Each structure stands twice: as structure tokens, then as C-alpha cells.
Amino acid sequence: MSSRSSSSSSDEDSDGDSDSECRKKQVSQNEASLPEINKWEGTSTNTGPKGVIKDWQRYKQLENEKRTENEREKIELMKKFTLTVQSALDEEREKVALEDPDFAELLNDEFLLNYQKQRMQEMLLQTNHNIKFGKVVVLKDSQDFLNAIDKENKSVTVVVHIYEENVEACCTMNACLKQLCKIYENVKFCAIVGCRAGMSQRFKADGVPAILIYKAGQLVGNFIRLSDDLGNDFQPEDVQSFLVEHGMLEDKSCTPLLIKDSHNESDSD
């Protein structure tokens, strides 16, 4: 009996030792599989608000650097392409110059510009741009009023100011028209007192200052009591803007540079 019990106890001890060794091996294996813990350097790249902000800032920095690099490459490519095209054009012009000198002259920028100016001058001569006034024509009576409209060139715009001498807004309008007639020299500006134009007493009292615009003998614009829109104290620019907005005068800011140059050259001549 004693021998059996001793043998059984020794077996249990050996089993316990083997289980202990197995557990130790398993623990060591688990510890080996765990990731290595880095030493904390004071910042985090993926946790916490500060870490997230820093990661985002770094991401945007890299994104901007990449965008800048792409833009730089595009610019270099465009420069290269421009130089290539310019070289091809120069070669083509040289080739044309050798084969056909007359046609090569047509491709010259200066020649084309001079040709455009010449054509513009010819076109201006066919319009009212060669008709200049530069002053306000004072109409004495109703007959002068009719002649100023009916006997004028059909391409000329006629602006007639009907006024009364004792009205403040009328005096201001006359002063403004004296300035505008120098800007719009091809427009015929006229002025006539209401009673001399045959206007009614009511119109003379309530309708002035009035602007009537005619073209080719037809009334195209009729603006009465302009003091309601402009007041009594206004500037030439206000009258100009008002007439431009209503399509009665051309907008000088939209005049092509080529036409302005043609006007300047004709004035110098």
C-alpha cells in the first residue's frame, strides 16, 4: 500500500510540474507577442485633441507641398509649350518670308494695326463721327427749333434742353451741357427758352428742365422735370450717367481703344 501511494504522489507531482511549465511557456509566449511599448516623448500622433490637431496640420502641410509642386510642374510645362509654339511660329514666318515676301508683310503685326486704323478712319467718315459741334447751340425761336432737328444729318443725335431762366435746376443743366458738348463733340446740344419754343404756361412752370432727344427727325427720348431725378445741384457726370443709362448717349468707357486712337489722330491732323 505504501509503495502504491508513494508512486501515485510522485505521479501527481510530476503532472503538476509539467502543468506549471506549460503555463510559464504560454505566459512567455503571450509576453513575446505583445507590442513593444515606446517611451512617451511628450506628444501623441493619434490620440487626444492635441495629437489629432497635430496630425491634421501635418497632413495639410504635405497636401499644400504636393499642390505647390504640381503647380510648379504645370507652369514649367506651359513655359516649355509656349516656347515650342513660338519657335514653330517663327519658323513658319521665316519660311513664308522666303517663299512669298508680300504675304509675309501681311502677317506683320504693325501692318495689320495700320490697316485696321485705316479701315476705321474710312468707317468713321461714313458716320457722324466726322461731324463735330463742341458747343451748345442757342435756339432763338420755334423755327430754329424745327430747323435744328429736321435739317440735321440723320446720323446725328440732337439733344434739346428746354429751360426757364429763373429756375435753378435749368441753370445747372445749361452749365452741365456746356461740359458734355466737349466730351460728345459729335452730338448736337441745343438750348431754348420754353416760351420761345411755344410751350404752355403749365409746362414752363412744372415741366422744366426738360431734355428732348431726336435722331433722324424722330423723337427718341423725352425727359421732363429732371429736377425730380437729379435735384437742383448736380454735376455733368450725373447728366451723362442719366442719358447713358437710358440709351441716349454712348458709354465712353466702352469705346474701343482703336477708335479713340483714330479720334486723337484726326484731331492732331
In the block, residue with C-alpha cell 509576453: 31
What are 11-62's pLDDT values in tens digits?
545 555 556 665 656 555 555 554 454 444 444 555 556 666 677 777 777 8
Is the pLDDT confidence value at 259 over 60?
A: no
Q: Looking at residue 127, what is its pLDDT?
A: 58
**Span 145-164, average pLDDT:** 94
C-alpha torsion sign, points 239, 244, 247, 248:
positive
Q: What is the pLDDT of residue 214?
A: 96
Q: Give the residue-averaged pLDDT of 224-250.
A: 94
Report helix, strand or coil for 211: strand
pLDDT recorded at residue 219: 94
pLDDT of residue 64: 79
Q: What is the pLDDT of residue 239?
A: 96
Whole-model pTM: value is 0.52
With a pLDDT cut of 70, the percent of the chain lying above it is 56
Task: Write down the pLDDT at residue 4.
Answer: 47
Q: What is the pLDDT of residue 264?
A: 55
CA distance 74 to 241: 45
* Residue 238 reports pLDDT greater than 70: yes
| pLDDT at residue 41 in the model | 47
Q: Find the helix or strand (DSSP H, E) in which 218 lies.
A: strand 218-223
Tell me if the domain spanning 132-268 has CATH number 3.90.1150.10. Answer: no
Give the pLDDT confidence of 245-258 residue by residue, as tens digits: 999 998 877 765 55
- What is the pLDDT at residue 100? 60
- The reply to whether omega before 209 is within 30° of 0 (cis) is yes
Question: Domain coordinates of the chain in residue numbers?
Answer: 50-107, 132-268
Q: Is the pLDDT of residue 110 over 70?
A: no
The pLDDT confidence band at residue 98, using thresholds 50, 70 and 90, is low
